[in-house]
Amino acid sequence: MIEELIEVARAAMGRAYCPYSKFHVGAALESADEAVFSGCNVENASFGGTICAERTALVSAVAAGHRTFRRILIMSDADDPVAPCGFCRQMLAEFGTDLEVISVGAKGGRRTWRLTELLPEAFTGADFMEDA
Ligand code: THU
């Protein structure tokens, strides 16, 4: 249910650690077997060490044993829905470019994409591994 994902992402957004940007982002990633993992952005004084909400959700899901995903929902402070950054697109693509990406803005607007639209012709393990 989309509503459940919205609530999970909203709660995660409230846990964002973003003292530098003050931009709160939350994500809810649903696996093929309907488990839901949340993530928030976790910033670092060495700015490059920052991890986005989408990747936090992804690494948490993978660490819990999930590798097949159905959709990810993103929420942030921005009025309009934000699209995931390039690093997150690449990390998500590792586990399938058919992923549905839903983003909800603070004003309630929604956008939906397939990851393949956001990262066409993705570089994957199949590009250099014969058995991938
Ligand atoms: N951020 C995310 O968590 N996800 C996005 O899709 C866009 C950017 C975070 C990273 C950083 O903590 C802050 O938002 C500003 O870029």
25: three-class secondary structure by DSSP: strand
Write down the pTM of the prediction: 0.97
57: three-class secondary structure by DSSP: helix
pLDDT digits (tens, 9 = 90+) for 42-80: 999 999 999 999 999 999 999 999 999 999 999 999 999
Respond yes or no: is residue 54 known to be catalytic. yes
CA 97 to chain centre: 13
Atom of ligand 1 nearest to the CA of 25: 3
- Least Cα distance to 115 among 49, 95, 16, 132 occurs for 95
User: Is 23 close to ligand 1, i.e. is its CB under 6 Å away?
Assistant: yes
Which residue is catalytic, options 7, 30, 34, 54? 54
